[in-house]
Amino acid sequence: MAEVAYGVATSHTPSIGAAIDNDREEEPYWAPLFEGYEAGRKWMADAEPDVIILAYNDHASAFDLDLIPTFALGVADHFPIADEGYGPRPIPSVEGHSELAWHLAENLILDGFDMTICNHMPVDHGLTVPLSIMYGKPDRWPAKVIPLAVNVIQYPPPTGKRCWDLGQAIRRIVHDFDEDLKVAVFGTGGMSHQLQGERAGWVNTPFDKAFLDRLVDDPESLTRISHIELLSDAGSEGIELVMWLIMRGALGRNVREVHRHYHVPASNTAAGLMILESEEHSAFL
The catalytic residues are: 125, 193
Bridge partners of 72?
A: 116, 149
Using the Cα atoms of residue 197, residue 203, residue 207 and residue 208 in order, give the sign of their dihedral: positive
CA–CA distance, 274 with 241 (Å, rounded to integer): 13
Mention every residue, 6+ apart, whose C-beta is less than 8 A from residue 80.
88, 93, 94, 122, 123
Beta strand ranges found along the chain (DSSP E): 3-10, 51-56, 71-74, 78-79, 94-95, 116-118, 144-150, 182-188, 255-266, 269-278
Report the chain's C-alpha Rg in angstroms: 17
Distance (Å, rounded) from C-alpha 102 to C-alpha 36? 36
